[in-house]
Amino acid sequence: MQGEFQETINIKELLKKYPRGLNITEIANALHMHRNTCAKYLDMLRLKGDVDRKLSGTARNYFLVQRMPLSALLRFTPGPAIIFDSRKEIAMVNKPALSLFKCPLDFMYGEKLQNLPYQLFKDSTIEDLTHQAVQGMSSVADRETYILGKKHNLCLHFIPVIFDSGKEGCALVIYDNTEFIENSEKLNICRRQYEAVTSDQTEFIVHIDTDQTIIFVNDAYCRYLGRSYERLCNLRFVPMFQSDERERVQNILSSLTPENPSGNLDVKSIQKDGGIGFEQWTFRAIFKDNKDIAGYHAIGRNTTELKKSESQLRQYYDNLEKLIQERTKELREVNKRLLGVISEKEEIEKELLFTQFAFDNASDSIILFDDTGSVYKANKTAGELLGYSCEEMRKCSVFDINPSISGDEWRRMWSDAHPGKKDRTISIHAKKDGKVFDVDVSRTFVRFLGRMYFCSIAREI
Q: 31-40: per-residue pLDDT in tens?
A: 888 888 888 8
* Residue 158: pLDDT over 50: yes
* Residue 155: pLDDT over 90: yes
Q: Which pLDDT belongs to residue 355? A: 77
Among 148, 164, 153, CA closest to 98: 148
Alpha-helical segments (H) within 368-446: 380-386, 390-394, 398-401, 407-415
- Please state, rounded to an integer, the average pLDDT across all residues of the chain: 86
Compute the average pLDDT of residues 238-245: 87
Q: Which pLDDT belongs to residue 1? A: 47
State which H helix or E strand residue 157 sits in.
strand 150-162
Q: Which pLDDT belongs to residue 45? A: 82
Compute the average pLDDT of residues 401-429: 85
Compute the average pLDDT of residues 385-400: 86
Q: How far apart are CA 397 and CA 406, in angstroms?
A: 12
Compute the average pLDDT of residues 138-160: 91
- Spans of all domains in the chain: 2-64, 68-181, 201-302, 304-359, 361-460
* Residue 2: pLDDT over 60: no
- The fold adopted by the segment(s) 68-181 is Beta-Lactamase (3.30.450)
* Residue 56: pLDDT over 70: no
The hierarchical CATH code for the domain 201-302 is 3.30.450.20
Compute the average pLDDT of residues 324-352: 87
Greatest distance between any 2 Cα atoms in the chain: 187
Q: How many other C-beta atoms lie within 10 A of the C-beta of residue 92?
A: 19
- 276 confidence band (pLDDT: 50, 70, 90): confident
What 281-285 contacts at long range (C-beta under 8 Å, 24+ apart), as own/partner pairs, is 281/249, 283/249, 283/252, 283/253, 283/256, 284/256, 285/253, 285/256, 285/257, 285/261
Give the global pTM.
0.48
The answer to whether the 68-181 and 201-302 domains have the same CATH topology is: yes
DSSP state at residue 422: E
Inter-helix orientation angle 24-31/2-16, to 10°:
110
Q: Which pLDDT belongs to residue 95? A: 92
CA dihedral 310, 315, 316, 322 (to 10 degrees): 150
Q: Is 2 left (phi over 0), alpha (psi -120 to 50) or beta?
A: alpha
* Residue 3: pLDDT over 60: no
Among 456, 367, 452, CA closest to 417: 452
In a 3-state reduction of DSSP, which class is residue 229? helix
Task: Indicate the CATH number of 2-64 among 3.60.10.10, 1.10.10.10, 3.40.50.620, 3.40.120.10.
Answer: 1.10.10.10
Q: Tens of pLDDT along 192-235?
A: 888 787 777 888 999 999 888 999 998 888 888 888 989 999 99
State which H helix or E strand residue 270 sits in.
strand 262-270
- 153 confidence band (pLDDT: 50, 70, 90): very high
For the chain, percent of residues with pLDDT exceeding 70: 98
Asked if 387 and 432 touch (Cβ cutoff 8 Å), the reply is: yes
- 4 confidence band (pLDDT: 50, 70, 90): low
The hierarchical CATH code for the domain 361-460 is 3.30.450.20
Asked if 203 and 280 touch (Cβ cutoff 8 Å), the reply is: no
Inter-helix orientation angle 35-48/24-31, to 10°:
110
